[in-house]
Structure 1
Amino acid sequence: MKKLWLIFAQTATVGLAIWFLVTLLKPAWLQQPATGAPVVTVKESRAVASAPAELSYSSAAKKAKPSVVNIFTSQQARQARNPLFNDPLFRRFFGDRGLGDEAQRPSSLGSGVLVSAEGYIVTNNHVVEAADEIEVALSDGRTASAKLIGSDPDTDIAVIKIDLPDLPAISFADADKVEIGDVVLAIGNPFGVGQTVTMGIVSALGRSELGINTFENFIQTDAAINPGNSGGALIDVRGDLLGINTAIYSKTGGSLGIGFAIPATTVKQIIEALIKDGSVTRGWLGVEVQDVTAELASSFRLPDTRGALIAGVVRNGPAANAGVRPGDVLLSIDGKVVVNSARMLDIISALKPAQMVSMTFVREGQQIEAKVEVGKRPTFNRK
Structure 2
Amino acid sequence: MTNETNGLLAGLSAELVSITERVGASVVRVDDGTRLTATGIIWSADGIIVTTSHGVERDEEVFIELHNGTRLAATLIGRDPDTDIAALRVAATGLPPAEVAADDAAKIGQFALALGRPGNSGLQATFGIVSARLDSQSEGGPETVLHTDAVFYPGFSGGPLVNVAGQVIGLNNLMFGRGKGVSLGVSIVRHVVEGLLAHGKMPRGYLGVRTQAAALPAHLIESLPLTQDRGLLIVQVEQKSPAEQGGLLLGDTLLSVSGQQITDVDSLRSQLRQHHAGQEIALNLLRGGVLLTLAVTLGTEN
For normalisation by structure 2, the TM-score amounts to 0.80
Contact 1:146 1:162 in 2 (8 A): yes
Q: Deviations over 1:278-321 (max 9, x none)?
A: 222111112456789xxx46857375449853465442232244
Aligned residue for 1:309? Answer: 232
Aligned position for 1:330: 255
CA distance in 1, matches of 2:150, 2:173: 13
Q: Pick from 62, 76, 92: which aligns with 2:21?
A: 62
For residues 34-89 of structure 1, the C-alpha deviation after alignment (integer angstroms, 9 at most, x for no partner) is xxxxxxxxxx9523443253574333323311111001112xxxxxxxxxxxxxxx
2:181 to 259, 263, 280: 259
Secondary structure at 1:284's aligned position in 2?
A: coil
Contact 2:216 2:230 in 1 (8 A): no
How far the C-alpha of 1:347 sits from its partner, in A, is 4.2
Q: 2:191 aligns with which of 269, 274, 281?
A: 269
Cα 1:205/1:48, change in 2 over 3 Å: closer
Higher strand share: 2
Q: Which structure's CA Rg is the greater one? A: 1
1:203 maps to 2:131: yes
Task: Give the partner amino acid of 1:286.
Answer: G
In the alignment, is the contact (CA less than 8 A) between 2:37 and 2:118 conserved in 1? no
**C-alpha separation in 2, matches of 1:240 and 1:307:** 44
If the length of structure 1 is used for normalisation, what is the TM-score?
Answer: 0.64
- TM superposition shift of 1:181: 2.3
Distance 1:144 1:48, change over 3 A: closer
Identity level (%): 28
Shift in Å at residue 183 of structure 1?
A: 2.1
Say if 1:54 and 1:362 are closer, same or farther in 2 by CA, change over 3 A: farther
2:204 pairs, out of 274, 277, 282, with 282
* Structure 2 counterparts to residues 1-383 of structure 1, below 5 A: 45-52=2-9, 53-54=11-12, 56-74=15-33, 106-190=34-118, 192-206=120-134, 218-248=145-175, 249-250=177-178, 255=179, 258-288=180-210, 296=215, 301=221, 303-305=226-228, 309-310=232-233, 312-316=235-239, 317-321=241-245, 322-325=247-250, 328-333=253-258, 336-338=259-261, 344-363=268-287, 366-378=290-302
Summarize the Cα distance change of 1:376–1:168 in structure 2 as closer, same or farther, 3 Å threshold.
same
How far apart are residue 122 of structure 1 and its match?
A: 0.5
**AA of the residue aligned to 2:30:** I
2:89 alignment partner AA? K
Distance 2:153 2:210 in 1: 34
Q: Does the C-alpha gap of structure 1 residues 199 and 352 become closer, same or farther in structure 2, counting only changes over 3 Å?
A: same
Q: How many residues align?
A: 286
1:231-283 CA distance string (max 9 Å, x none)? 11111221111121122445xxxx4xx22222211111111122222222111
Structure 1 distance, partners of 2:16, 2:171, is 19
RMSD, matched Cα: 3.2
Distance 1:327 1:239 in 2: 52
- Checking the alignment, whether the CA contact within 8 Å between 2:27 and 2:117 is kept in structure 1 is no
Q: CA 1:136 to 1:298, structure 2 compared with 1: closer, same or farther past 3 Å?
A: same
For the residues of structure 2 that align with 1:282 and 1:349, how far apart are their CA atoms? 6
User: Secondary structure of the equivalent of 2:45?
Assistant: coil
Structure 2: distance between partners of 1:169 and 1:364: 57
1 CA distance for matches of 2:169 and 2:229? 31
Unaligned runs of 5+ in 2: 137-142
Measured after TM superposition, the shift of residue 327 of structure 1 is 6.4
SS at match of 1:167: coil
Q: C-alpha distance in 2, partners of 1:190/1:357?
A: 43
Amino acid at match of 1:353: A
For 2:18 and 2:286, locate their aligned partners in 1 and report how far apart those are by CA, in whole Å: 56
Contact 2:39 2:158 (8 Å CA) reproduced = yes
- Mapped partners of 1:340, 1:241: distance in 2: 36
Structure 2 Cα separation of the partners of residues 279 and 157 of structure 1: 10
Distance 1:194 1:260 in 2: 22
Pick the structure with more helix per residue: 1
CA distance in structure 2 between the partners assigned to 1:355 and 1:47 by the alignment: 59
Tell me, in whole angstroms, the C-alpha distance in 2 between the residues paired with 1:375 and 1:159. Answer: 24
Determine the C-alpha separation between the residues in 2 that align with 1:174 and 1:290. 40
Listed one character per residue, the Cα deviations across residues 72-121 of structure 1 (whole Å, up to 9, x for unaligned) are 112xxxxxxxxxxxxxxxxxxxxxxxxxxxxxxx5431110000000110
Contact kept? 1:190, 1:225, Cα under 8 Å: no
- The one-letter amino acid of 1:369's match is T
Report if the CA contact (8 A) 1:306-1:339 is conserved.
no
Q: How much does 1:351 deviate?
A: 3.6
